[in-house]
């Protein structure tokens, strides 16, 4: 079957990575929305580098969990398009390939001067040079609030041909990802939401599986045959 799965921070919660809105939404006493923006980077690039260095180190110490492994398993038996809002690499380390990181990824660095991308060092700072143009203009290759998510054409096409659309561990508070369920429903997919709780867009789904991802995702995958 043609399946699209969208994941959010909730799938990495049991791996020990904090979600955005369950936590107090603060980091070093800064609201995340005030650190993950182009304005914050222009205002205080060293602070933003520090924020992502901390997230890169947390992600490196985390391990993929049963939910990540179950989705890698699903791809062996179905035509799966895996889209994630997460910037960690737990899907890849859990065995998934061709993961679509619509909000970018910690593993990649981007040159703010020439647009070159390269595998990010564990730590970047205001002096990190771009290997292509040598400008000291490295930034995290992360889609900040107000910037365009990546790979949207490919994502909309996959949703429109999907027979099943599932959203795992996402609060449905950030668009365009929050609108994927409604679009999938409109284009005929069976829509399933897997979450600890209700989300802001639960009404868009035909089916809801409530519980921790490490319990409900393997069960859901097994049920698909
Ligand atoms: N199992 C399943 N779901 C869980 C678990 C768990 N163990 N723990 C938390 N959740 C659910 C919460 O109920 C919530 O719905 O995961 C969701 C986490 O929501 P957010 O913290 O808002 O994360 P997310 O939806 O991924 O945020 C989307 O917002 O801050 C931006 O760019 C950032 O990609 C992020 C986007």
pLDDT of residue 55 exceeding 70: yes
- pLDDT at residue 102 greater than cutoff 70: yes
pLDDT at 141: 98
| Predicted pLDDT of residue 191 | 98
- Ligand 1 center to 12 CA (angstroms): 9
Mean pLDDT of the chain: 95
Give the model's pLDDT for residue 144.
96
Per-residue pLDDT tens digits for 145-181: 999 999 999 999 999 999 999 999 999 999 999 999 9
* Helix residue ranges, H only, the chain: 10-13, 32-35, 38-43, 45-61, 66-77, 90-93, 152-161, 180-186, 213-223
Average pLDDT over residues 26-54: 89
**Rounded distance, CA 105 to CA 49, Å?**
14
* Confidence (pLDDT) at 23: 67
Residue whose CA lies nearest to ligand 1 atom number 30: 20
Q: What pLDDT does residue 24 have?
A: 67
CB-count burial class (<10 Å; 0-12, 13-18, 19+) for 225: exposed
Residue 47 has pLDDT above 80, yes or no: yes
Non-local CB neighbours of 194 within 8 Å, separated by 6+ positions:
166, 167, 168, 169, 208, 209, 211, 213, 216, 217, 220
Report the C-alpha gap between 189 and 205 in whole angstroms: 10
CA of 46 to the centre of ligand 1 (A): 27
The predicted pLDDT at position 21 comes to 75
The CB density around residue 185, as the number of other CB atoms within 10 Å, is 17
pLDDT band at 34 (very low <50, low <70, confident <90, very high): confident
Helical H runs in 15-111? Answer: 32-35, 38-43, 45-61, 66-77, 90-93
Ligand 1 pocket: which of 15, 22, 204 to mutate (most atoms <8 Å of CB)?
Answer: 22
pLDDT band with cut points at 50, 70 and 90 for residue 138: very high
Pairing outcome for strands 30-31 and 26-27: antiparallel
Higher pLDDT, 174 or 29: 174
8 A C-beta contact, residue 194 and residue 167: yes
Q: Is 49 a catalytic residue?
A: no
pLDDT at 41 over 70: yes
Answer yes or no: are the C-beta atoms of 25 and 188 closer than 8 Å: no
* Structural domains for the chain: 1-17+64-103+149-225 (3.40.50.1220), 18-61+105-142 (3.30.1600.10)
Cis peptide before 129 (omega within 30 of 0): no
Q: Which among 103, 116, 151, 215 is annotated as catalytic?
A: 103
Whether residue 30 has pLDDT greater than 90: no
Residue with tokens 């914050």: 40
Closest CA to 169 of 207, 201, 206, 197: 197
Q: How confident is the model at residue 31 (pLDDT cuts 50, 70, 90)?
A: confident
d(CA 103, CA 132): 23
Residue bearing tokens 């390939």 = 97
Nearest to 91 by CA among 9, 178, 208: 9
Query: Measured between alpha carbons, how far is 59 from 110 in angstroms, rounded to an integer?
Result: 19
Interval 38-62 mean pLDDT: 95
State residue 100's pLDDT score.
98
* Dist. CA 20 → ligand 1 center (Å): 6
Predicted TM-score (pTM) of this structure: 0.97
């Amino acid at each position: 079957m043609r399946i699209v799965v969208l994941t959010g921070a909730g799938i990495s919660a049991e791996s020990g990575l904090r979600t955005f809105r369950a936590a107090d939404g603060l980091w070093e006493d800064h609201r995340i929305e005030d650190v993950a923006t182009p304005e914050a980077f222009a205002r205080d690039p060293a602070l933003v580098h520090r924020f992502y260095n901390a997230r890169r180190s947390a992600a490196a110490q985390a391990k993929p969990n049963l939910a990540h492994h179950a989705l890698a398993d699903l791809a062996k038996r179905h035509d799966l398009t895996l889209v994630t809002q997460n910037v960690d690499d737990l899907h890849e380390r859990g065995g998934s390939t061709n993961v679509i990181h619509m909000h970018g990824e910690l593993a990649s660095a981007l040159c703010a001067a020439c647009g070159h991308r390269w595998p990010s060092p564990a730590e970047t700072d205001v002096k990190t040079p771009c290997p292509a143009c040598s400008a000291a203009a490295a930034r995290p290759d992360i889609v900040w609030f107000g910037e365009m998510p990546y790979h949207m054409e490919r994502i909309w096409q996959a949703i429109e041909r999907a027979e099943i659309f599932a959203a795992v561990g996402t609060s449905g508070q950030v668009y365009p990802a929050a609108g994927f369920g409604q679009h999938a429903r409109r284009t005929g997919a069976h829509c399933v939401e897997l979450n600890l709780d209700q989300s802001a867009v639960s009404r868009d789904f035909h089916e809801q599986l409530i519980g921790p991802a490490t319990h409900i995702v393997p069960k859901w995958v097994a049920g698909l045959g």
